[in-house]
Amino acid sequence: MLRAELPGMDPAKDIHITVEGDTPTVGAEHTESKEEKDHSEFRYGSFRRTVRLPTQIPSDGVEAEYEDGILTVRVAMEPEETETARSIPVKRAATNDHDES
């Protein structure tokens, strides 16, 4: 899961998410201007982050949600092949039990 605070964004037009192989990239850009009789305000913000994940991302394995200024990106990862530790018994070498008399 990736989370980013992006207050004041319009998720439909300001936030862009791309995935290439094992690398999702989240970008956002917002421009806002307000003009009144006595003054004007201009606000601009830009954000871009790329994260490399340990495995390839399935083509349908990414979901994004924006709520209260927080972007949450969920990435479904393929289950890793877990290696289980196992004990290997050590055998005693065969001995030559011939009596030499």
pLDDT (tens digit per residue) in 10-57: 999 999 999 998 899 999 998 888 888 888 888 888 889 999 988 888
β-pairing, 23-35 vs 15-20, is: antiparallel
What does the mean pLDDT of the chain come to?
A: 84
Structural domains in the chain plus CATH codes:
2-75 (2.60.40.790)
Q: What is the model's pLDDT at position 80?
A: 61
Query: Could you say which DSSP state residue 59 is in?
Result: T
Mean pLDDT of 93-101: 65
Closest C-alpha to 32, from 48, 45, 21, 20: 45
| Residue carrying structure tokens 């083509």 | 59
Query: 45-58, pLDDT tens digit by residue?
Result: 888 999 998 888 88
Is 90 exceeded by the pLDDT of residue 67? yes
In terms of average pLDDT, the best of 25-29, 89-93, 95-99 is: 25-29
